[in-house]
C-alpha cells in the first residue's frame, strides 16, 4: 500500500468509500467465492489482500465476479 500514499488525499478518500461500499455488499462474496477459491486460495483475508488478488487476475475472473467489483478502484501494479 505504499503507492496509495502517493495518491492525492481526495482520491484516497474516494477509494476508501468505494471499497467500504463494496465490502458492505453481501453479493460480492457469493459472486466471487469460486474465483477466490480458484485464484487466491493461499491469500489471507484482510487489508484488501483478496481484492488485490482478484484485481491481479481480473482477466480470468468470472463475469459475475467482475461485475460485482468496485469500479474506479486503483490497481496497484507496476
What's the confidence (pLDDT) of residue 68?
82
Pick from 7, 16, 8: nearest CA to 73: 16
What's the confidence (pLDDT) of residue 71?
66
47: left (phi over 0), alpha (psi -120 to 50) or beta: left
What's the confidence (pLDDT) of residue 77?
39
Instruction: Give the three-state DSSP class for 60.
Output: helix
User: What pTM was estimated for this model as a whole?
Assistant: 0.59
What's the confidence (pLDDT) of residue 40?
96
Buried b (16+ CB within 10 A) or exposed e, 40-71: beeeeeeebebbbbbbeeeeebeeebeebbbe
C-alpha cell at 74: 486503483
pLDDT digits (tens, 9 = 90+) for 27-50: 677 889 999 999 999 999 888 788
Pick from 27, 23, 17: nearest CA to 46: 23
Q: Where are the domains of the chain?
A: 3-68
pLDDT digits (tens, 9 = 90+) for 63-72: 999 888 776 5
Amino acid at each position: 500500500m505504499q503507492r496509495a500514499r502517493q495518491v492525492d488525499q481526495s482520491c484516497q478518500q474516494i477509494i476508501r468509500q468505494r471499497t467500504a461500499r463494496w465490502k458492505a455488499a453481501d453479493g460480492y462474496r457469493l459472486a466471487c467465492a469460486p474465483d477466490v477459491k480458484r485464484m487466491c486460495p493461499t491469500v489471507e483475508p484482510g487489508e484488501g489482500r483478496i481484492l488485490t488478488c482478484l484485481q491481479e487476475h481480473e482477466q480470468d475472473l468470472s463475469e459475475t465476479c467482475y461485475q460485482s467489483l468496485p469500479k474506479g478502484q486503483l490497481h496497484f501494479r507496476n
